[in-house]
């Protein structure tokens, strides 16, 4: 989960206010990983961005399957999955 930040990328300082419950969790992760809170935050953001990219690809894969299938049951299942991805549970 916590991949190291590439040394070749230049860093930009960005100030962000975090809720205290998030700060506690970040600090706990940093202690367990024996690293800094900043590195944990960067890794979490990178993981979140990758997850969003995967979700976008999965959405388009499902949309393509929906366009290609003639099976009404499969269409309904795919529509439900697309709705869940778009609007949540």
Per-domain residue ranges of the chain: 21-87
pLDDT, tens digit, 9 for 90 and up, residues 1-31: 555 555 557 888 889 999 999 999 999 999 9
Cβ(25)–Cβ(71) under 8 Å? no
Euclidean distance between CA atoms 67 and 75, whole angstroms: 9
Name the H helices within the chain: 20-33, 37-68, 72-87
pLDDT, tens digit, 9 for 90 and up, residues 23-62: 999 999 999 999 999 999 999 999 999 999 999 999 999 9
SS3 44: helix
Euclidean distance between CA atoms 75 and 63, whole angstroms: 10
């Amino acid at each position: 989960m916590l991949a190291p930040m590439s040394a070749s990328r230049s860093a930009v300082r960005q100030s962000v206010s975090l809720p205290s419950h998030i700060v506690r969790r970040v600090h706990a992760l940093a202690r367990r990983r024996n690293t800094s809170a900043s590195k944990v935050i960067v890794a979490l953001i990178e993981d979140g961005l990758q997850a969003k990219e995967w979700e976008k690809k999965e959405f388009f894969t499902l949309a393509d399957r929906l366009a290609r299938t003639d099976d009404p049951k499969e269409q309904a299942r795919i529509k439900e999955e697309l709705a869940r991805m778009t609007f949540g549970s």
